[in-house]
Amino acid sequence: MVDQELHRGLEDIAVAETRLSTIDGEAGELIIGGYPVEELAKNALYEESVFLLFNDRLPTKSELESFRTELAGYRKISEEIKQVLRQAARENADAMDALRMGVAAANLGFDSTESTDHAKRLVSVIPTIVTTYWRYRSGKEPVEPRDDLGHTANYLYMLSGEEPDPAAVRGLETYLNTVVDHGLNASTFVARSIASSDSDLVSAVTGAVGSLKGPLHGGAPGPVLEMLLVAHESDDPEGYVQEKLDAGERLMGFGHRVYRTRDPRAEVLSRAAERLYSGSGDRAFFGFVEEFEETAVSRLSDHKPDRKLETNVEFYTAVLLYGVGIPQELFTTTFAVSRVGGWVAHCLEQAADNKIIRPVSIYVGDHNRSWTPAENR
């Protein structure tokens, strides 16, 4: 018997069991692979977070070393992929579109029948795709990956061609660990759905990139930064927020489908951003950001008293990535640099106990129409 109750946006519907992460939206808690996000984010290397998702435990020291070496070995991309990215940059394609094209071509020059190899390869290759596109887009030649650098440091190195600042590496590493997985969010659901038809990982990640691109999902941090810079310039955060809400606009970086409290990732990222800005001397901008957040949450509560609209992850993502020196155009692609770990882990988990994901829809169209030939319509 088909359940004819409509669940718009599949809200509150469970379609999979997972050991990867869980969210308590009322308590504001996020657990990744058994660890509270607060603990994992500040301590782990990104490679450790990915190993945790793949193996349901942290690696030993020697396992970590070999995992890092293995990932580093998958970083290079073929000339064919570079060509796709060069063309995307030449045509001023959006960074997420370029990433989608690059990921779709990720099999070129890579041959393996093992899905775990493809999983590691996808984790490794996304930073190279993003930075190669960005270098072409900036009129520069790509920087080849270095085997002696960790995953996060190498990403920054390939972006600028310069030795990365350790404080920026730690800030970015904290970000990558924080957003590596987050339950069955929209893009992870897309990846799992594609995997559930026994399709391949490249297809699943290509679809997930498309989903992440939307401003209601991973596309929010760019607009958050724009909003903060304009409000900072105006020196009137209160007036700015009120004007937006009066115009019926949404404040980017606030509200969430699951959390009814402040997103725990906002706290982790705000602490990381505070450390970074204090070190770089721009503590004043960080102070403005905190003031803006307080104003926005208070105005949102007047605006929608029956719906708790609190700070979400994207607000401090924008602040932290700006401080790290990631170009605004690459905020969402940097989200993908992290989330790919969750996407592929979910696909492997789905494959291990698969049932094709196939919900139902409720038909609201007409019945019993009778055919009229085209010339009579």
- DSSP code of residue 329: G
Q: Is residue 7 within the footprint of ligand COA (CB under 6 A)?
A: no
Q: How far apart are CA 57 and CA 46, in angstroms?
A: 14
Q: Could you identify the residue written with the tokens 């519907």?
A: 13
Least distance in angstroms from the C-beta of 218 to ligand COA: 8
Work out the number of other CB atoms within 10 angstroms of the CB of residue 206: 22
Q: Is residue 318 within the footprint of ligand COA (CB under 6 A)?
A: no
Q: Is residue 54 within the footprint of ligand COA (CB under 6 A)?
A: no
Length of the chain counted residue by residue: 377
Least distance in angstroms from the C-beta of 186 to ligand COA: 9
Whose CA is closest to 51, among 42, 43, 60? 60
Q: Is residue 10 within the footprint of ligand COA (CB under 6 A)?
A: no
Which of 253, 323, 341, 342 is in the footprint of ligand COA by CB under 6 A? 253
Which of 118, 182, 256, 346 does the annotation list as catalytic?
A: 256
User: Is 63 known to be catalytic?
Assistant: no
Residue 158 in tokens:
């390939």
Residue 264 in tokens:
């725990």
Least distance in angstroms from the C-beta of 119 to ligand COA: 25
Q: Is residue 256 within the footprint of ligand COA (CB under 6 A)?
A: yes
Q: Is residue 307 within the footprint of ligand COA (CB under 6 A)?
A: yes
Q: How far apart are CA 359 and CA 343, in angstroms?
A: 20
Which of 153, 180, 208, 309 is in the footprint of ligand COA by CB under 6 A? 309
CB-nearer residue toward ligand COA: 53 or 269: 269
Q: Is residue 28 within the footprint of ligand COA (CB under 6 A)?
A: no
In sequence order, which residues have a C-beta less than 8 Å from that of residue 209 and are 6 or more positions away? 96, 99, 100, 103, 187, 336
User: Is 151 known to be catalytic?
Assistant: no
Q: Is residue 213 within the footprint of ligand COA (CB under 6 A)?
A: no
Least distance in angstroms from the C-beta of 279 to ligand COA: 27
Q: Could you identify the residue written with the tokens 């085209």?
A: 374
Among the residue ranges 63-71, 193-201, 245-253, 327-335, the one whose residues contact ligand COA (CB under 6 A): 245-253
Q: Is residue 237 within the footprint of ligand COA (CB under 6 A)?
A: no
Which of 47, 48, 267, 314 does the annotation list as catalytic?
A: 314
Q: Is residue 150 within the footprint of ligand COA (CB under 6 A)?
A: no
Task: Outline where DSSP puts E strands in the chain.
Answer: 21-24, 29-32, 35-36
- The DSSP bridge pattern shows strands 21-24 and 29-32 to be antiparallel
In sequence order, which residues have a C-beta less than 8 Å from that of residue 8 and are 6 or more positions away? none
The catalytic residue positions are 256, 314
